[in-house]
Structure 1
């Protein structure tokens, strides 16, 4: 097993020359560990405050808010395809870098996803993974720091650097485990989703679907679609969280009432007269008016359930038992193998187009699920475990 590395004190980077020199050194290494500290409570886009980088023998904390600091060398490192970028729970970090540099860091490795493949459970936390793989303990004292406040304290810098130094050893040990168990290719399949830019970019025109409207009224759905798209773009423009601009329940009421002027808009729950009469209110009313005038054929259809008969609850339960048993056998997180939607479709369709029937998931669970529902195998008990029993012809 790779031994745990003792690192010197982290470098604290506040100028472009030091950052460039650091990134030049790290670009000679096979992989670099990466983490960020950011604030998002008051903004639509994450406000990047700190970036942490870890190499084989050094770590650094970059003050991204330092005056005059050019982050271009960091962008070049993240784009360098010769250097693997290792994250834990990477999605928000990648979203930040995509917005900042216009591209997803590649290649990349997410230890949280890899840990699910390696049997550490669903969405294992960083603290637990580090403890399991390295025996190290993460200092939680500064977890809820205001990372936008300056100056950063020495204790904050030390805390931030620990995230990437522990991650270095955790990655090596996790990689060794995956290679030993022949699962490295499984993780590569999962990384394909994380490297797609569309994974991180919300489509304003489909945001209404997340609200799960309980109506078949296409005109109301058209207004809701227009209002939700307006909210997303307006939240981006003024850089505030969408729920702070207009909450979901208020958006649904706007769609139901379709106000035609500021006075009517101000009567909607959660909308102030100042909002209704201001620039945002004018923009929302314009979107509503356009949806109200839209031809019937251009209005959205009510979200539909899947065609065909409803899934048998008993069969769904049986497939879930099989999923749990197969994941226990292979020591992999069930959530990663098949979703509830996968199970429902397996119960109602002959061979649905679902992730559970593709790639490594099919070998772990999918083929046996098809065999179970067609009666080619049955479930039994051997000791304290579920086993598959071939059915007699």
Structure 2
């Protein structure tokens, strides 16, 4: 059983932070609940410096500011596993991002151990320890937490600390330690920026189906939905689902009667939001219309060009022992083609940045697309 300190008051937390400030490595994990909310509900923070394993109770502690400041300390390496959701939690609750960042899942991939390796599998492979994952679907907001829940949470950082020397040594031997930290910087980029309300419509599924006039309606509707979601801390789909917004933008109801006839909205959505929706739709700017949503994949030659780039990158992945998902994913290829076909305007695609550029830039430049 893990030995841990349960921290549920500010004085204990601040004493712990003072200790952690002396460390060069801090292991981190979070437990949270997300069902209907826009933001995850933070239930527990696990931290371990190799000496004190702490389970920090954010439900009981009102002021976590000193702990959040610790995460931004550039002299302490923050060790995590598959951390994208943790980063979202840190951004929302702490307005911070943990840098420098060492993600053990990415480290394992760069070491040739496989892409997307789960924590339990990584621990079993490297340490020959079997972790009980029985509490993974627990309600982390419920108090008091059981001994089984606390032990499960503690184990999530206990073994990660033991994995670090192995992964670090392998990356150093491969000359890829700098790649790992570069990935950490890339993962944390832009996470502290507030949601962009004016471009929310671009993320609505099937927005590409709409003409400019319909997009003008979708733009104000998506902005309104995002504002509602943020104000009430509701997942977007629990305000109105994407296909409901698309239907409204296409059919443009002018009266309650017309809106009620729409089958794409639930009865609850109509009852709660009908007046708001009609009011918001009247604010659409029908003079300065948005541009059509450009769907690259529908352009002539896309499939052929995609295959050419994928073949090139896949060969590079095999040659260098890098997982395809890190260099030749669908998103990476799509982003590259968009940049290439847009006369190389705008930000460089990911595949032409940092260590990826070292591997791929020259080969991609020679492709005829």
- Correspondence for 2:322: 332
Structure 2 residue runs without a partner (length 5+): none
Count of matched residue pairs = 363
Using the alignment, how far apart are the partners of 1:19 and 1:28 within structure 2?
15
Alignment of 1:172 onto 2:165: yes
Alignment of 1:299 onto 2:289: yes
Q: Using the TM superposition, give the Cα deviation of residue 287 of structure 1 relative to its aligned residue in structure 2, in angstroms.
A: 1.9
Residues 78, 230 of structure 1: CA spacing in aligned structure 2 closer, same or farther, 3 A cutoff? same
- Correspondence for 1:150: 143
Q: Secondary structure at the match of 1:197?
A: coil
Q: Using the TM superposition, give the Cα deviation of residue 304 of structure 1 relative to its aligned residue in structure 2, in angstroms.
A: 1.9
Q: Using the TM superposition, give the Cα deviation of residue 142 of structure 1 relative to its aligned residue in structure 2, in angstroms.
A: 0.3
Q: Using the TM superposition, give the Cα deviation of residue 312 of structure 1 relative to its aligned residue in structure 2, in angstroms.
A: 6.7
- Correspondence for 1:365: 360
Residues 307, 93 of structure 1: CA spacing in aligned structure 2 closer, same or farther, 3 A cutoff? closer
Structure 1 residue runs without a partner (length 5+): 1-6, 375-393
Using the alignment, how far apart are the partners of 1:47 and 1:309 within structure 2?
42
Given that 1:8 and 1:58 are in contact with CA atoms closer than 8 Å, whether structure 2 keeps it comes out as no
Using the alignment, how far apart are the partners of 1:94 and 1:318 within structure 2?
35
Using the alignment, how far apart are the partners of 2:298 and 2:222 within structure 1?
31
1:29 to 23, 26, 29: 23
**Scaled by the length of structure 2, what TM-score is found?**
0.88
Q: Using the TM superposition, give the Cα deviation of residue 83 of structure 1 relative to its aligned residue in structure 2, in angstroms.
A: 1.6
What's the Cα RMSD here?
2.8
Given that 2:32 and 2:43 are in contact with CA atoms closer than 8 Å, whether structure 1 keeps it comes out as yes
Greater Rg by CA: 1
Q: Secondary structure at the match of 1:164?
A: helix
Alignment of 1:97 onto 2:90: yes
Q: Using the TM superposition, give the Cα deviation of residue 255 of structure 1 relative to its aligned residue in structure 2, in angstroms.
A: 1.2
Q: Secondary structure at the match of 2:283?
A: helix
Q: Using the TM superposition, give the Cα deviation of residue 38 of structure 1 relative to its aligned residue in structure 2, in angstroms.
A: 0.5
1:114 to 88, 107, 114: 107
Q: Using the TM superposition, give the Cα deviation of residue 311 of structure 1 relative to its aligned residue in structure 2, in angstroms.
A: 3.4
Residues 272, 168 of structure 1: CA spacing in aligned structure 2 closer, same or farther, 3 A cutoff? same
Given that 1:34 and 1:164 are in contact with CA atoms closer than 8 Å, whether structure 2 keeps it comes out as yes
Bigger mean CA offset, 72-81 vs 86-95? 72-81
